[in-house]
Structure 1
Amino acid sequence: MDILNELSLPIQLHAFGEGSPLDYRVQQEAHIAFKVANIKVALFVDHIYSKICYLFLVLGIGFLCATIYLYIKLPNVIPVHWGSSFKVDSWGRKETLFILPVSLFVCLMLSIKKFIHAHETNPFRIMAAELIVLGVLTLLVIAMSYVYPIYFSLL
């Protein structure tokens, strides 16, 4: 059964049987649905995206613990920038250690599906937003993986 709303978009109402294999949220809550060519592939990609975000969360917690340890142990002035020859060309306060972990957690908050879906309805743009967030998270982890061994060598 199709009805129209104030945006003149068709709304379909569905009834689900007792043995329906669909998630209870799909059956109980109003939602936006998109047609996809292969639902198994779409669900697999969604599942992998969630697992990758959990991986970044675990890495972020580890880096945050390392940051707190380094903050306690390092001197007040630390290297904060390396030039193209990988030599220190700028020094700063040790509080700058928290920039990368905080950025990682902000990106993780932006990667939450509810946040992305609240701001975008086009499935291709949603996928693009998810890929961009994952790319930024990857770059942050790479940067921390490069910088933290240097900081530990200063101890």
Structure 2
Amino acid sequence: MASPRDIARYLIMMKPLIARAIEVRQSWIRELGMLFEEARQGNAAQVTTRAGRLGRDHVGLFRDVRASCERYQPPAGCEELQRAVMSWIDGLVKACEALVEVGGSGQMVGMQVAQRNVTEARHAARRFNNEYQRLVTELRVAVRAARRRGP
């Protein structure tokens, strides 16, 4: 296991990247929800056009965040957190790619693929959140113990 300082440094470096992914995801997921509702109502031509645009508008942003996350080597003990964040972002990228495919092919089945990828991304986000909480809790315990020991 890495030192508490190394773990804290890693978490601090990852924080703005995660914040950026969350920011992009929030607007994207709102639009995606409306798109799924339109798909249920059966307006295929409008859905396929909007799906392609939505995927194209966001896939690059998610890929950029992923590339930035890959630059950081997680310290020992943070590998699961890194895997979870990469799985989360990969799910978002795959969902965007499915939307681009819907736009290009006009095939609505890609909407189901996008939905499955969003679901997988949500599960990975939960793993990330759980792992992040575990690491933060361990850091707090280590800091308290260090304070009790004194300088």
The two structures have a TM-score, normalised by structure 1, of: 0.40
**Structure 1 or 2: more strand by fraction:** 1
The two structures have a TM-score, normalised by structure 2, of: 0.41
- Greater Rg by CA: 1
**Structure 1 or 2: more helix by fraction:** 2
Q: Which has the higher contact order (CA 8 A, sep 6+)?
A: 2
